[in-house]
Chains A and B, each alone.
Chain A
Amino acid sequence: MSKKYLPLVATIAVFLALFLVGGSMYRNFLSTLVLGNILADNAFIIIAAIGATFVILSGGIDLSIGSMIGFVGVCMAVLDRMGWHPLATAAVMICFGILYGALQGFIIDYCDIQPFIVTLAGLFLLRGLCFMVTLDSVPIRHDFVDLYASAKIPLPGRGVLRSSAIVMLAALALAIFIAHFTRFGNNVYAIGGDKESARLMGVNVRRTTIGIYAIGGFYSALAGVVYALYTSSGYPLAGSTLELSAIAAVVLGGTLLTGGVGMVAGTLFGGMILGLISTLIIFHGSLNSAWIMISSGVLLFAFIVLHRFLVSSFDLRGTS
């Protein structure tokens, strides 16, 4: 087994271990019902995190994810009230997401400003636009939303795969294809490993950077669409600080924030681990969000230490 799969294996092992812990503590926990619900409930975080994976693989960061989810949500809700079909709005919003991401990527490369600052401005801008669109929570009422909520594929056992989970898995498949089977994907890894070397090897850094943030925008807009359909409403504060959950999911999934090392598939399990923690705490019956936050932090800490250990003992980053 290639050593680049080690972090992925570690992530999957932790996920399985947590799942078994849940199974030993609660009856009915080890079921496809719970698994299907975790997939559906966290679909939007995982979708956003998939986009963030590309950005982080390239050594950048995207803070505008949460605001994008909120903005897409309020636009879907307001346009729904004006009689648009949700699918049409979704298409428009995803195009907007791609363009917005591409613009961020262009500014980052052209002006040579840290991604942190540019996407931070992007965060403020989109959140401000949310408040301009509406200040209230707006419901989305459309036959399509009901259809979306009721559509499901039965799994063995009592579980079901809901529409959100299906969209998420399709998005994941697309991301794996882009990351591992295209030249663009190779370029992303190359830039994340060493930008200057990548440039010298003939990678078009500007075009790739724009592409990376466009993908980030695409996935966060898609996450916003899924979130809006899932909650069937738009709320201008929706998705606040969600970018951090997405980044946490990416880190838990085995991607290094320094760029160049990681796998898109790991992000799925990273997001599922976050979901599993809240499910465990909800099963416990306390519904204590304090403990959800703290255990996410503790787990993040454990993972980072594990990573440091893996990186230093197996030399994942090469001999640089």
Chain B
Amino acid sequence: MPVWLKAIVQSRAVWPVLALVLILIVAGSVSPNFFEIRIVEGRLFGNLIDILYRAVPTALVALGMAVVIGTRGIDLSVGSIIAIVGAVIVWRIKMGDPHITILFSALAAGILCGMWNGFLVSALRIQPIIATLILMVAGRGIGMLINQLYGGTDPSFESALLQWMSTGSIWLIPTRLILAAGIFLALWLLIRRTALGLFIESVGGNAAASNLAGVKAGLIIFVAYVLSGLLSAWAGVIMTADTHTSDPVSVALYIELDAILAVVIGGGSLAGGRIYLGMTVIGALVIQALTTATLISGLPPEYNLIIKALVVLSVLFLQSANARKAIGSLVSRRAS
């Protein structure tokens, strides 16, 4: 095997990318026009663009989740944060704030939620899964309360700014893709071009040891949850702009599970110590490509969950040492 081929095979990127390509090929063979991209009303349209377009909220949440998981934590409250952000946006719009202020209020709400989670995990030292469970349980209720602040009878709204972020485009490219790329770049610079990423990975690897080495583990963990809150808030802004309304009960239901899945498909381990930002985005794309492929292949949408479960299980099964050994011995017995 040539060196470059070996390098590719041994790269951790190969399996998720292979899965994505495979899904796209299957989808392309089922639907002949799958790869077609055309320009409608000054914007690119097509299935591939659609996958990118729809994957943005999950990808943003998953990026925050990847950082939190890097600290050996988990953030279950992301769906609730999105619900709160949606309610805050509608509340401030009804109060007549300028829309750019509303955008910042929404992001501030997400940061506040992240600070609460970070406080519980780093200061009170509560296990991440329970600490974030608190906001997950209470958050949608908080969203409903915020909606009651303006009466809550008509949560729908119109906003040119949010509309532009949802369906608008710049130079043919949907705005949210540019926005997401910008956020990804900023996060990548923050994680990979400052010491923060190194600190997070060291805290996730061994919090006690990095504390002894002079890394303030508590502060690093706190920052990770704040980042996750901020990124969830961005996802919340886009999802609220999409629906023109605030629906705290059902918005972004199960998004925490999809986000965790994206991180795991991207090769992140829940045991912490590693952050793969690019691979996490690939993971989110795999999930969305799977959903889109299921829909356009004509299968009923109910199958989507089952296919997702089976794909996840088989990917994890192939990654596990025991299963590989069993398959390996089976193959070598056949060969001999």
Q: How far is the CB of A61 from chain B (nearest CB, A)?
A: 8
Cβ < 8 Å to B, chain A residues 275-320: 289-294, 296-298, 300-301, 304-305, 308
Total residues of chain A contacting the partner, CB 8 A: 45
Name 22 interchain pairs, CB-CB below 8 A, sorted by A.
A111-B323, A117-B261, A120-B261, A124-B257, A124-B308, A125-B306, A127-B305, A128-B308, A131-B302, A131-B305, A248-B137, A289-B141, A290-B141, A291-B141, A293-B144, A297-B139, A300-B130, A300-B134, A300-B137, A301-B120, A305-B124, A308-B126
List of A residues within 8 angstroms of B141 by Cβ = 289-294, 297
Of the candidates B130, B271, B310, the one having the most CB atoms from chain A within 10 angstroms of its own CB is B130
- Find out whether the CB atom of A110 lies under 8 angstroms from the CB atom of B303: no
Q: Is B135 an interface residue (CB 8 A)?
A: yes
Do A135 and B144 touch (CB < 8 A)? Answer: no
20 additional contacts, CB 8 Å, given A112-B321, A121-B312, A290-B145? Answer: A107-B313, A116-B74, A117-B261, A117-B264, A118-B313, A122-B309, A124-B312, A127-B305, A128-B302, A129-B306, A132-B302, A132-B303, A244-B133, A251-B130, A257-B129, A293-B144, A294-B141, A297-B135, A297-B137, A297-B141
A123 partner, pick from B135, B148, B257, B323, beta carbons under 8 A: B257
Residue B317 lies at the interface, judged by CB distance under 8 Å to chain A? yes
Shortest B316–chain A CB gap in Å is 5
CB–CB A120/B320 < 8 A: no
> Do the beta carbons of A124 and B306 come within 8 Å of each other?
yes
- Cβ of B322 within 8 Å of any chain A Cβ, yes or no, is yes
Bound complex: CA A284 to CA B6 (Å)? 68
B residues lining the A interface (CB < 8 Å): 74, 120, 124-127, 129-131, 133-142, 144-145, 148, 253, 257, 260-261, 264, 270-271, 300, 302-310, 312-313, 316-317, 320-323
A-side contacts of B142, CB under 8 Å? 290, 293-294
Q: Which chain A residues border B74 with CB–CB below 8 Å?
A: 116
CA of A258 to CA of B321 in the docked complex: distance in angstroms? 25
B305 contacts A304, C-beta separation under 8 Å: no
Q: Is A89 part of the contact surface with B, judged by Cβ < 8 Å?
A: no
Is the pair A111, B317 in contact by a Cβ cutoff of 8 Å?
Answer: yes
The CA-CA distance from A251 to B133 in the complex, in Å, is 11
Q: Are A117 and B270 touching (Cβ within 8 A)?
A: yes
A240 at the interface (CB under 8 A from B): yes
Say yes or no: A128 contacts B309, CB within 8 Å.
yes
Cα of A193 to Cα of B287 in the assembled complex, Å: 36
User: Using Cβ atoms and an 8 Å threshold, which residues of chain A touch B309?
Assistant: 121-122, 124-125, 128
* B312 (CB) vs chain A CBs: closest residue: A121
Q: Which residues of A contact B136 (CB under 8 A)?
A: 244
> CB-CB < 8 A to A113: which residues of B?
316, 320
The distance in angstroms between the C-alpha atoms of A135 and B300, with both chains bound, is 11
Of B145, B305, B312, chain A has the most CB atoms within 10 Å of the CB of B305
Q: List residues of chain A with CB within 8 A of the CB of B264.
A: 117
Whether A114 sits at the interface, judged by CB under 8 Å, is: yes
Any chain B CB within 8 A of the CB of A47?
no
Within A92-146, the residues touching B (CB, 8 Å) are: 107, 110-114, 116-118, 120-125, 127-129, 131-132, 135
The answer, among B134, B144, B304, B323, for a CB contact under 8 Å with A301, is B134
Q: Considering residues A110, A117, A121, which has the most beta carbons from chain B within 10 angstroms of its beta carbon?
A: A121
Partner of A125, one of B140, B257, B261, B305: B305
Q: Which single residue of chain A is at the shortest CB-CB distance from B131?
A: A304
A247 CB within 8 Å of chain B = yes
CA distance A309 to B39 in the complex (A): 62
Contact call A125/B310, Cβ cutoff below 8 A: yes
Kindly provide the distance from the CB of A240 to the nearest chain B CB, expressed in whole angstroms: 7
Asked if A304 and B320 make an inter-chain contact with CB atoms under 8 angstroms apart, the answer reads no
Q: How far is the CA of A118 from the CA of B140 in the complex (A)?
A: 26
B322 and A308 within 8 A (CB): no
State whether B134 touches A257 (Cβ < 8 A): no
Contacts of B139 in A (CB 8 A): 293, 297
Inside 8 A of B317's CB, which chain A residues have their CB? 107, 111
Q: In this complex, which of B135, B136, B300 has the most chain A Cβ atoms within 10 angstroms of its Cβ?
A: B136
Q: How far is the CA of A125 from the CA of B305 in the complex (A)?
A: 6
- Bound form: Cα–Cα A107–B319 in Å: 12
- Cβ of A320 to closest chain B Cβ, rounded Å: 13
Q: Which residue of B lies closest to A132 (CB)?
A: B302
